Amino acid sequence: MSFWKKYKNRMIVAFVAIILIVIIGITANGREKLSKGENLLGNIFSPVQKFSINIGERVSNFFESILHMGSLKSENEELKLKVAELEEKNRRYEDLIGRSDYLLREKELIENTHYNLIPAQLIGKEPGNWFNRFVIDKGAKDGVKKGDVVIQAVDTGEGIIQEGVVGRVLETGDTWAKVVSIIDENSDISFKAIRTQDGGILSGSVEGKLSGYLFDTGADVIKGDKLFTSGLGGVYDADLYIGEVINVIKEDEDLMKKVEVEPAVDFKKIYKVFVISD
Partner 1 sequence: MNTFIIILSIVVNFILETTLIPHFRIFQVVPNTGLVLVVVLAILNGKTIGSLAGLVVGLLQDIMFIPVIGINAFIYFFVGYSVGIAETKLSKDSILLPILMTILLTFGYHMVYYIFMYFFNYNLPLSKLLKDVVSIETVCNTIIAIPVFKLLSKLFITPKITFGKK
Rule CB under 8 A: is residue 125 a binding residue for partner 1?
yes
Q: How far is the CB of 244 from partner 1 (least distance, A)?
A: 20
Minimum CB distance to partner 1 smaller for 29 or for 112: 29
Write out the E strands in 44-155: 116-125, 133-136, 149-155
What character string, x for contact with partner 1 (CB under 8 A) and - otherwise, covers 29-48? -xx------x--xx--x--x
Among the listed ranges 55-63, 76-84, 194-202, 231-239, the one in contact with partner 1 (CB under 8 A) is 55-63
What is the C-alpha separation between 178 and 46, in angstroms, rounded?
A: 11
Which residues face 200 on adjacent strands? 191, 214
What is the C-alpha separation between 78 and 115, in angstroms, rounded?
A: 33
Q: Is 3 helix (H, G, I), strand (E, B) or coil?
A: helix
For residue 179, what are the contacts with CB-CB under 8 A and spacing of at least 6? Answer: 133, 134, 135, 136, 150, 166, 167, 168, 169, 170, 273
Range 181-220, binding partner 1 (CB under 8 A):
185-186, 206-208
Minimum CB distance to partner 1 smaller for 37 or for 157: 37
Q: How far is the CB of 9 from partner 1 (least distance, A)?
A: 8
Rule CB under 8 A: is residue 110 a binding residue for partner 1?
no
Q: Are 248 and 197 in contact (CB under 8 A)?
A: no
What character string, x for contact with partner 1 (CB under 8 A) and - otherwise, covers 238-277? ------------------------------x---------
Minimum CB distance to partner 1 smaller for 173 or for 198: 173
For residue 256, what are the contacts with CB-CB under 8 A and spacing of at least 6? Answer: 213, 214, 217
Q: Are 117 and 154 in contact (CB under 8 A)?
A: no
Which residues would be at the binding site for partner 1 (CB under 8 A)?
A: 9, 13, 16-17, 20-21, 23-24, 27-28, 30-31, 38, 41-42, 45, 48-49, 52-53, 55-56, 59-60, 123-131, 133-135, 170-171, 178, 185-186, 206-208, 268
